[in-house]
C-alpha cells in the first residue's frame, strides 16, 4: 500500500483504528479463485498483500463515504421503524389493547413453538419477557409515568411499541397472523405479508451493521429479502433476476425507498442517496457494481 502523506495516515489510523480500517482495505487484498467443489459460492484464497496501486488515501476516502451512507440509512431506518410500530399498534390495538400479549391475536407458530434461545418457553413468551424487561427498566418519561399511574398493569400496545427495537419489531411482525401481515404489507404497495417479513428481517440486519459502524457498502446481506413477481411492484422490476442487486446493499436501499415513500410521500431521501452514490468510489474493486447497483440504476423511476 502506498502512503502519499505518512504523518496524515498515522493520524487517521490513530483516530479510527487499524482493525476498523482493515475492513475497508480488505477488498484490495490480492486473491485467487480456488477449485469449486460444488459450493454455492466458490472459495478464494486471500493473500497478505495488496493489488498493485492500492493507496491509503483511497481506502480512507472509502471509509468516509461508507460512513456517509450509513448515516443516510440510519435516517431512513428510524422513520421506517417508527412507522411500522404505529401501523401495528393501530391495526391490532383496534381489536384488543393488549393484542401483543393475546395468543388468540397472533400466529399459532409464534405462540406454541419453543423459543430457539430458551426451549422452556414459547417464542411469544420469550419475546414478551424481553419486552417487559425493557419496559420495566426504561427511564423514558412515558414509561415511568405509566408504571407510576397504572401500577401492576401491562401497557397497551400503543405504549408498549415505544420500547421495541428493530430486533423485537422483526420478531413480532413474523409472529403476526397472515391476514395482519398482509394488511400491513399492502400499505407499502402490492406486497405480501411473507415478503414484508423478509424485508423487516433484512433491514434489522442492516440496522445492526450501521449501529456497530461496520462496513455496509460492498458486502452481502446476511438476511436476503424476497421480492415480488414482475409487475406486482413495478419500481422493483429492474432488479428481477439480478442476483447481486438482490443480495447487496442496493436491495436494502430499494426496500427503504419503497417504504419511505409510503410513509412520507414528500420525502427527498432518495435524492440524497442518489447524490451520495454519484460520488461513490470509481475503483473497480469497490465501485457501485460491487454494491449491487445495476448499470442503469440512476435512470430508474424510484431514484428520480
Q: Are 127 and 117 in contact (CB under 8 A)?
A: no
pLDDT reported for residue 117 = 86
pLDDT reported for residue 114 = 95
Residue 273 CA to residue 275 CA, distance in Å, equals 5
Using one digit for the tens of pLDDT, what is the confidence trace for 165-183? Answer: 999 999 999 999 999 999 9
pLDDT reported for residue 31 = 87
pLDDT reported for residue 38 = 64
Residue 1 CA to residue 54 CA, distance in Å, equals 5
Rounded to a whole number of angstroms, the distance between the first and last alpha carbons of the chain is 39
pLDDT reported for residue 32 = 86
Closest by CA position to 218, among listed 283, 145, 139? 283
pLDDT reported for residue 43 = 77
Q: Are 81 and 259 in contact (CB under 8 A)?
A: no
Task: Name 270's Cβ contacts closer than 8 Å, sequence gap at least 6.
Answer: 257, 260, 261, 302, 303
Q: Report how far apart, in Å, the C-alpha atoms of 30 and of each of 52, 66, 233, 281 are.
A: 9, 22, 40, 19
In the chain, % of residues over pLDDT 70: 98
Give the gyration radius of the chain's Cα atoms: 22
pLDDT reported for residue 44 = 79
Domain boundaries, the chain: 6-57, 59-303
Q: Are 246 and 205 in contact (CB under 8 A)?
A: no
pLDDT reported for residue 35 = 79
Environment class of 285 (CB within 10 Å of its CB; exposed 0-12, middle 13-18, buried 19+): middle
Closest by CA position to 202, among listed 227, 176, 183? 227
pTM of the entire structure?
Answer: 0.92
CA dihedral 121, 158, 205, 213 (to 10 degrees): -120
Using one digit for the tens of pLDDT, what is the confidence trace for 226-284? Answer: 999 999 999 999 999 999 999 999 999 999 999 999 999 999 999 999 999 999 999 99
pLDDT reported for residue 39 = 62
Residue 54 CA to residue 50 CA, distance in Å, equals 6
Q: Give 16's Cβ-side CA count (13 Å radius).
A: 21
Sign of CA dihedral 161, 166, 168, 169: positive
Q: Are 110 and 123 in contact (CB under 8 A)?
A: yes
pLDDT reported for residue 119 = 83
Stretches in the chain below the pLDDT threshold 70? 37-42
Amino acid at each position: 500500500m502506498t502512503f502519499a502523506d505518512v504523518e496524515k495516515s498515522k493520524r487517521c489510523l490513530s483516530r479510527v483504528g487499524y482493525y476498523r480500517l482493515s475492513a475497508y482495505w480488505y477488498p484490495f487484498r490480492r486473491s485467487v479463485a480456488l477449485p469449486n467443489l460444488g459450493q454455492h459460492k466458490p472459495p478464494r484464497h486471500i493473500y497478505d498483500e495488496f493489488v498493485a496501486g492500492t493507496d491509503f488515501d483511497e481506502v480512507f476516502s472509502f471509509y468516509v463515504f461508507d460512513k456517509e451512507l450509513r448515516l443516510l440509512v440510519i435516517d431512513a431506518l428510524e422513520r421506517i421503524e417508527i412507522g411500522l410500530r404505529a401501523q401495528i399498534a393501530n391495526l391490532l390495538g383496534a381489536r384488543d389493547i393488549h393484542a401483543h400479549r393475546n395468543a388468540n391475536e397472533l400466529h399459532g407458530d409464534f405462540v406454541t413453538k419453543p423459543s430457539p434461545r430458551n426451549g422452556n418457553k414459547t417464542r411469544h413468551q420469550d419475546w414478551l419477557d424481553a419486552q417487559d424487561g425493557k419496559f420495566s427498566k426504561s427511564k423514558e418519561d412515558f414509561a415511568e409515568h405509566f408504571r407510576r399511574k397504572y401500577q401492576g398493569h401491562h401497557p397497551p400496545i400503543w405504549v408498549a411499541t415505544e420500547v421495541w427495537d428493530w430486533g423485537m419489531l422483526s420478531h413480532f411482525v413474523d409472529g403476526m397472523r397472515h391476514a395482519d401481515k398482509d394488511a400491513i404489507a399492502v400499505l407499502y404497495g402490492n406486497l405480501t405479508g411473507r415478503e414484508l417479513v423478509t424485508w423487516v428481517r433484512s433491514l434489522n440486519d442492516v440496522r445492526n451493521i450501521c449501529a456497530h459502524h461496520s462496513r455496509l457498502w460492498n458486502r452481502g446481506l446476511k438476511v436476503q429479502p424476497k421480492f415480488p413477481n414482475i409487475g406486482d411492484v413495478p419500481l422493483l422490476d429492474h432488479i428481477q433476476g439480478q442476483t447481486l442487486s438482490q443480495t447487496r446493499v442496493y436491495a436494502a436501499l430499494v426496500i427503504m425507498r419503497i417504504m419511505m415513500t409510503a410513509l412520507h410521500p414528500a420525502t427527498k431521501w432518495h435524492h440524497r442517496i442518489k447524490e451520495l452514490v454519484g460520488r461513490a468510489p470509481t475503483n473497480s474493486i469497490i465501485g457501485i457494481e460491487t454494491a449491487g447497483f445495476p448499470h442503469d440504476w440512476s435512470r430508474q423511476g424510484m431514484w428520480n
